[in-house]
Structure formats: structure tokens, C-alpha cells
Amino acid sequence: MESQQAHRKDEHLSLATATYQRAHQHHYFDQVRLIHNALPEIAVKDVDHHVQLVDSLQLEWPFYLEAMTGGSNQAAKINRTLAQLASKHHLAMATGSLSVALKEPATQSSFTVVRDENPDGIVIANLGADAGLDKARAAIDILGANALELHLNAAQELVMPEGDRDFHWLNNIANLVEKLDIPVIVKEVGFGMSQATIERLQKAGVKVINVSGRGGTNFAMIEDRRNHQLDLDDLATWGQATPESLLEARGSKATIIASGGITCPLDVVKAGALGAQAVGVAGYFLNILIRDSATALDEVLTEWQTELPRLLTLLGCHSFRDLQKVPFVLMGDLYSYAQQRHLI
């Protein structure tokens, strides 16, 4: 018999799949148009797809498997498959929050399977931003993690009947960044970030920020379906979309990661043009795995790794970071947003 927290993990997996199409009906990256370069003056073989996020964190590819799961039998199976694919494709992978593994040690194997299947890969641990130093160190040890993600999920918690109601996180984040000897990435879970949030994180010492915006997985919708108590579905359109969040982050000295609603290599490239130095993908890959198969996800990853260097070539870029020089125009709502927020 699995615990309440493990049961919640399984509900997240099934509802993330059930709500994904509706959550993703608005594809915000369509409002970003890159300017074609008819004279690329580069060959595909000249493209270097590695990205250096900070001194001690280099990824072989600019996209990775973003934080999703752990803590139940089903989560263990999914983590095993994702880790096998991460290893095969040389992709970094984040696990879901390890808080359940710290509370219920019997669930740890649903996380450690990620390291077992990918001993030399980049594995990223994940915890809530309220986790103290001891918990953070324990989570890192469980996975032999190369980096730690701390998630900011106030909107999700407030929709959950059993969720947190107190959100004093900044001092704890600053303490963890100072004391831990691996990179700390602070991320949202799909509601995006504003310029002010990004500045406050940076002032607290955070060097890597994942804006994780609206446009893909939507935890207001997922928790609303789970709890059947409150009708908080009106938060379905809450938060900043991922391209909006990336515009909010422009000019920041922090390393910026994008996630939220990424569904194709062109989205990855557009995120790079808007300033992201890497891109996390959760819901889209999970959907392929659950609705289709591991083989289908394997094929999709191969396609992305074939297409991405070609798109960089088309834009005359030797590296993912070069995308930041690619001119773009913003359409419709996104243009209006950027103007009203004085971001362009």
C-alpha cells in the first residue's frame, strides 16, 4: 500500500497527461518569429551543441529531461525508462522532488534508479525551496547529483487542499546557494517569472534560474482536477508564458533556462534566441512515453538531436549561445505584453 504522497505522484502523472492537450492549446512560441538567414556560411558539422551553464555544469545538449517524478512504483518505472533514454542520448535529467524520498526512505529506489541507469550522466536533484541544508545535502547524496533544483510552486500549493500556506523562501535559498558545493538552479513549475523575481533571486546569489513558464503542464489545472473541493480552475491562465518570462529575464546576469510548453526543436531554438542557455522539457516527453511508448520517445529524441544542429546551421550559429544574436520579431499578444512591460 503506497502512502498519500506516493498516491499524489501517481495522480500527477495521470492528470499531467490527461490535461496536457488543453493546457497546451495556446502555443506561445508561435508569436516569436526568427529572421531567416539566407547566407549561413557554416556547415552542420561545425555546430557545437554543448552548453556551459556555469563553470561546473556543462550539458552535452541544450535540452534536457525536466523534473517530473519519483516516489511510487509507477514513478520508478518511468524514471528508469527516462534515465535509460537520457543515458543513450547523452541528455541531462532532473528527477521529481525528493521530499518524499527523505520522508519515506522506502521510496528512495524510485529515484536512485536514475543514477543506476546513468552512472556518468548529468543528474539533477529537485526539492522545494523551503528545504533546509541537511535535507538538500541528503537529496544530493541519494542521487550523486551534479546540480540541485529548488522549485517555486506557490500557485500549485495554494490550489492543493493539503498544500503549504506559508511562502518565506528567499533567505533559505540564499543559504543553500552559499553552502552547497554544486550549482543550485531555482525554477518555477509552469507559472513563469517576472523581472522583479529574477532580480531578487540574483541578489540572493542565485546563478542559474529556470523561468518555467505557462504554455505546457499546468499545475493549477492538475491540482484542481485532483481536489474537487475548490473551483480554482480560473488560475488556468495564471502566470507568465515561457516567451514572456524569457523577455522578463533579458539583461539578467544569471544563466537563464527555459521550460514550459516546449514541444519541438524550433521552440528550443526560439527559447535560445530569447536568451535561454538551456531548455527543459517535461510534459511533452511524458505524454509521448505514457500515451505511446519508450520507443516512440527514443525516436523523438533522435529527431530532435538531428534537427537541432540543422536549425542552428540555418541561422548561421556555431553554438547554442550564438542564437542570442539572431534577430526576431514578436507578434500579437506577445508584442503587446513586451511593450506594456517595457521589455523591448
Ligand X SMILES: Cc1cc2nc3c(=O)[nH]c(=O)nc-3n(C[C@H](O)[C@H](O)[C@H](O)COP(=O)(O)O)c2cc1C
Give the H or E element holding residue 123. strand 123-128
Question: Could you give the dihedral angle defined by the CA atoms of residues 57, 61, 65 and 70, in that order, rounded to the nearest 10 degrees?
Answer: -40
- Answer for the pair 60, 90: CB distance below 8 angstroms, yes or no: yes
Determine, following the binding rule CB under 6 A, whether residue 297 of this chain makes contact with ligand X.
no
Q: Out of 257, 283, 311, 338, name the contact with ligand X by CB under 6 A.
A: 283
In angstroms, rounded to a whole number, what is the distance separating the alpha carbons of residues 174 and 324?
Answer: 29
Our finding on whether 13 is near ligand X (CB under 6 A) is yes
Contact flag: residue 208 with ligand X (CB under 6 A): no
Quick one: cell of 108? Answer: 528512495
| Cα separation values, 153 from 42, 73, 170, 211, 302, Å | 42, 24, 13, 12, 32
Interaction of residue 192 with ligand X, rule CB under 6 A: no
Would you say 124 or 247 has its CB closer to ligand X?
A: 124
* Between 118 and 126, CB nearer to ligand X: 126
Out of 61, 66, 101, 206, the only residue in the binding site for ligand X (CB under 6 A) is 66
C-beta neighbour count of 137 within 10 angstroms: 16
Candidate ranges 54-62, 253-261, 270-278, 295-303; the one touching ligand X (CB under 6 A): 253-261
CA-based angle 183:125:165, to the nearest 5?
Answer: 100
**Alpha helices of 64-146 — where are they, by DSSP H?**
73-89, 99-103, 109-117, 133-143
156 binds ligand X (CB under 6 A): no
Confirm or reject binding of residue 240 to ligand X (CB under 6 A). Answer: no
* Smallest separation (angstroms) from ligand X to the CB of 67: 4
Q: Which stretch binds ligand X (CB under 6 A): 51-59, 101-109, 134-142, 184-192?
A: 184-192
Q: Tell me, residue by residue from 91 to 130, as one string, x for binding to ligand X by CB under 6 A and - for no binding.
A: -----xx----------------------------x----
In whole angstroms, the minimum distance from the beta carbon of 47 to ligand X comes to 24
Of 154, 68, 140, nearest in space to 102 by CA: 140
**Rounded to 5 degrees, what angle do the CA atoms 156, 159, 165 make?**
80
Residue 216 as a binder of ligand X (CB under 6 A): the answer is yes
Q: Give me the residues that bind ligand X (CB under 6 A), please.
A: 12-13, 16, 66-69, 96-97, 126, 149, 151, 187, 189-190, 212, 216-217, 259-262, 281-284, 286
